[in-house]
Amino acid sequence: MIERAVHRRVRTIAEDRTHGASELARICLHMGADFALREPVRDSAELHDVLGQLAAAMTAARPSMAPLYNLLNRWTERLAQLPGMELDAARQAAAAAAREVAEESVRAMGEAARHASGLIGAGRTVMTHSLSSTVREVFRLLKDGGVRAIVSESRPLCEGYALTDQLSEWGIPTVLITDAQLGLFVKQADLVLVGADAILEDGAAVNKAGTYLLALAARDQGVPFYVCCESFKRRSAGMGPLELEEMGTEEIGAPEQPHVTVRNVYFDVTPRRLITGWINEHGLDGGAH
Amino acid sequence: MIERAVHRRVRTIAEDRTHGASELARICLHMGADFALREPVRDSAELHDVLGQLAAAMTAARPSMAPLYNLLNRWTERLAQLPGMELDAARQAAAAAAREVAEESVRAMGEAARHASGLIGAGRTVMTHSLSSTVREVFRLLKDGGVRAIVSESRPLCEGYALTDQLSEWGIPTVLITDAQLGLFVKQADLVLVGADAILEDGAAVNKAGTYLLALAARDQGVPFYVCCESFKRRSAGMGPLELEEMGTEEIGAPEQPHVTVRNVYFDVTPRRLITGWINEHGLDGGAH
């Protein structure tokens, strides 16, 4: 029963294609709060154990996404107090802790976006790839300052369209291109700004496939390349080796052909040397140039 | 009447999305031969004039594609003999000249592919982008030697699928990826081999958008990057400034949104410094490294 309840939630997280890593981590936390309040358990010790199992399973479901590891870890650390409490009080405490960690994450995202928008200033053309909630927030902060956007569709599921939909609503003049045109348009940008699903210990950025190509083109054409994300995105040694998630090939829509293997690796790694700077909730952290 | 006949053929060329530059140039020549044999004209002088108009209009319809300029020029140079001939003999001579130029082009393509397959040798993994008839011929020559392929879909119209269809028929083990994954897979290739729609006077290659990104990733990861195409692909000063064709945005399939401009530039330019070597009908021409 409890296993089914865990499994159902973990599947939702594993199959999610519409949220970035931080948003998904917050969804996990809200699911955790809901789980803590509702699911039948004997006592606060069992509650502690099943919440730990839920958090571990959610983290394992999206190994490329450091915020799940970091935020769910931060939450489960606070759950150490549960055993020994009255069950109802333990439920409330677990849910409150989940909400607080989610709120910390939202604040950090907002601060990172605020630093990025200050750094960029008014009237600039910003190019991005894929859909990052932090980058979207940067555009919101800059929308009345004459910002312009260049956005790639980001195959296979084209979440770039969701970003242009939002930019369109804000009245931001936007150019939408295929991923193959990234190298043709980067010169028209004053800077590139991308989010990240994780930052490696050496400063490399894990983000949607194609980000590395954009970083290469930006470097080749002298356009600064910034990564904007909260420090919750940092991978730590405890997370084990980096695994780049691969999704179902039906997302690509290619014909099935004998001898042909379709691949759908979702993330690539942009090395530190291609990154001009990282922007997190504490401000700008300078990079390789 | 004649204008309509010219216009109909030129529109076919302008709207073509399935053929590479050399194949399309040969289609132009075969259309020219057919035109010379069938269309009503008064005499051989008028035939000479309208064939010149047809060739000029076809060339102008695809300004990114050097072979149209070069092969149609080669044909129209041979048409100088027409005025003064009997009309029927002039028709036959014009058609024969078109066929001969097309055959020269086919021979050059075959020779370039033969040189490339010799350079590559057996048992290698070759990565390519877009659909080049020359590269396809290289795979045909290598198909019994244990060659493997990595092919990108090449948005917007995904002509990569047509290439994998052919490779599948030949039983060549092939990996098919989105353009966004070019940087993730280049390291698995022994070399990159692409065709070109044109080679600039300085050695840069004009090819389907995304080729420049693949060349950057190949250089960054130490994988040799070769361009294989006949010398008919060379642009000359007479062609005027390079124009990168842009096609209709309906090909992209993005939603229409206010303030959002969809762009569909078909070609990009890979600079000479990223090209390991050019292979044409005379063999390998070494490059920047």
Q: How far apart are CA B132 and CA B167, in angstroms?
A: 13
pLDDT of amino acid B109: 96
Closest CA to B167 of A151, A78, A261: A261
* Reduced DSSP (H G I as helix, E B as strand, rest coil) percent helix, strand, coil of chain B, to 5: 55, 15, 30
Rounded alpha-carbon distances, angstroms, from residue A83 to A41, A79, A90:
13, 8, 8
**A148-152/A174-177 β-pairing:** parallel
Chain A interface includes B254 (CB < 8 A): yes
**Please, what is the average pLDDT of chain B?**
95
* Count of other CB atoms within 10 angstroms of residue A191: 20
Cβ-based contacts under 8 A for chains A and B = 160
Hey, of A161, A212, A274, which one would you mutate to test binding to chain B, going by the most B CBs within 10 A of its CB? A212
Chain B interface includes A49 (CB < 8 A): no
pLDDT at A256 over 80: yes
Of B175, B178, B265, the CB nearest to A184: B265
pLDDT at A288 over 90: no
B-chain CB neighbours of A155 within 8 Å are 153, 155, 178-180
Q: What is the DSSP letter of B256?
A: P
pLDDT band at B287 (very low <50, low <70, confident <90, very high): low
pTM for the model: 0.94
pLDDT of amino acid B64: 86
Which residues contact residue A155 at a Cβ distance below 8 angstroms, ignoring those fewer than 6 apart? A178, A179, A210, A252, B153, B155, B178, B179, B180
User: Quick one: B50 exposed, middle or buried, by C-beta within 10 A (0-12, 13-18, 19+)?
Assistant: middle
* Structural contact between residues A148 and A174, judged by C-beta atoms closer than 8 angstroms: yes
User: pLDDT tens digit string along A21-57?
Assistant: 899 999 999 999 999 999 999 999 999 999 999 999 9
**Residues B136, B141, B146, B150, Cα dihedral to 10°:** -10
pLDDT at A289 over 90: no
User: pLDDT tens digit string along A163-210?
Assistant: 999 999 999 999 999 999 999 999 999 999 999 999 999 999 999 999
Cis peptide before B255 (omega within 30 of 0): no
Q: Which amino acid is at B28?
A: C
Residue % of chain A over a pLDDT of 70: 99
Q: How far apart are CA B53 and CA B60, in angstroms?
A: 11
Hey, of A187, A194, A213, which one would you mutate to test binding to chain B, going by the most B CBs within 10 A of its CB? A213
Closest CA to A61 of A5, A8, A102, A2: A8
Q: How far apart are CA A193 and CA B117, in angstroms?
A: 42
A-chain CB neighbours of B216 within 8 Å are 183, 213, 216-217, 220
**Please, what is the average pLDDT of chain A?**
95
pLDDT at A1 over 80: no
Hey, of B259, B265, B273, which one would you mutate to test binding to chain A, going by the most A CBs within 10 A of its CB? B259
User: pLDDT tens digit string along B53-97?
Assistant: 999 999 999 988 899 999 999 999 999 999 999 999 999 999 999
Q: Is B263's CB within 8 Å of A177's CB?
A: yes
Stretch 171-210 of chain A: residues touching chain B, C-beta under 8 Å: 171-185, 208-210
Residue % of chain B over a pLDDT of 90: 91
Q: Which tokens belong to B97?
A: 């000249």
Residue A209, sorted as left (phi over 0), alpha (psi -120 to 50) or beta, turns out to be beta
pLDDT of amino acid A287: 52
Active-site residue (options: A197, A202, A220, A268): A197
User: pLDDT tens digit string along A100-119?
Assistant: 999 999 999 999 999 999 99
A34 is known as an active-site residue? no
Q: Which amino acid is at B36?
A: A
Kindly provide the residue ranges of all beta strands, DSSP E only, lying in A107-223, ordered along the sequence.
Answer: 125-128, 148-152, 174-177, 191-194, 198-199, 205-208
Q: Which tokens belong to B24?
A: 């399309």
Rounded alpha-carbon distances, angstroms, from residue A17 to A178, A242, B44, B52, B119:
19, 20, 65, 55, 43
The chain B residue lying nearest A164, using CA atoms, is B260
